[in-house]
Amino acid sequence: MSRALSYLLFFVVLFFYNSAFAVKIKRHCQAYYYGSVKNIIFSIDGVTKNTYIPPYSITVYFPDSRFSAEASCGKLVPNRCRKRARNKLLNCTRAHANSPNQLPQLCNPDLVKNYPGPDLRAMMHSRACGVLRSKDGINISGFLSHPYTLSLEVGVFVGGNTSCGVQKAGTTVDYYDDGTSPQPQTSGTKFKDYITKRLRNFSVTCP
């Protein structure tokens, strides 16, 4: 093969390689919040009780309030899109956890679609003060007299296809000392890859 022909083939391959990267695609990831009850403070006959709840024994999920983000990247690297989309969701939820009573710019509709609302604390209050059930299905609310206070660990699931999480499905970046972690409740749509991220603690008084 002549040197001229070798150069020609090299530039042809380089052209198609660069063209493939020049084509842009979009991919997305989804997210929703959860609230895990850590303590329940209530009164019986005038005596205040502060009851510790084992990790993730009572968890309130919000799979019906999903939100999403998408990002673009080269056609040959779709996972790069998902990593960028995942980071948009994590940046939004971290920022809102730090300022729960106002919607941060990182959560605006141009970056995050279908975000559930500006007041994170109010959202947790409305759901957590409903019917609380243990993971065994026991109605905890039926045993409590009002008012009572819940100490909640608030976190977020981010999931979707490969690279919407940071590790393989079934793992998490956050662990309690005993290794337990919440599992996403996906309402029939399973995440191939997900991340569980704890954000902050809230105290809410019910009702």
- DSSP string for residues in 67-114: EEEEEEEETT-HHHHHHHHHHHHHHHHHHHHHSTTS--GGGSTTTSBS
The pLDDT score that the predictor gives to residue 189 is 57
Residue 7 inside a domain? The answer is no
User: Strand 24-44 and strand 59-61: pairing?
Assistant: antiparallel
Domain that holds residue 162: 24-206
Residue 40 inside a domain? The answer is yes
Report H helices in the chain: 3-22, 78-98, 120-128
Tens of pLDDT, residues 39-78? 999 887 778 889 888 888 888 888 788 999 999 999 999 9
Residue 95 inside a domain? The answer is yes
Q: What is the mean pLDDT of residues 152-160?
A: 91
The pLDDT score that the predictor gives to residue 5 is 56
The pLDDT score that the predictor gives to residue 170 is 44
Residue 128 inside a domain? The answer is yes
The pLDDT score that the predictor gives to residue 32 is 92
pTM: 0.79
Lowest mean pLDDT among 62-71, 77-86, 118-127, 141-150: 141-150
The pLDDT score that the predictor gives to residue 25 is 94
Instruction: Provide the number of structural domains found in the chain.
Output: 1
User: Strand 24-44 and strand 193-206: pairing?
Assistant: unpaired
**Cβ distance 162 to 82 under 8 Å?**
yes
Residue 5 inside a domain? The answer is no
Residue 130 inside a domain? The answer is yes
pLDDT, averaged across the chain: 80
Indicate the DSSP class of residue 55: T
Residue 146 inside a domain? The answer is yes
Residue 14 inside a domain? The answer is no
Cα 195 from chain centre: 7
Q: Hey, what are 119's tokens? A: 């007041």
CA distance 199 to 184: 16
CA distance 188 to 186: 6
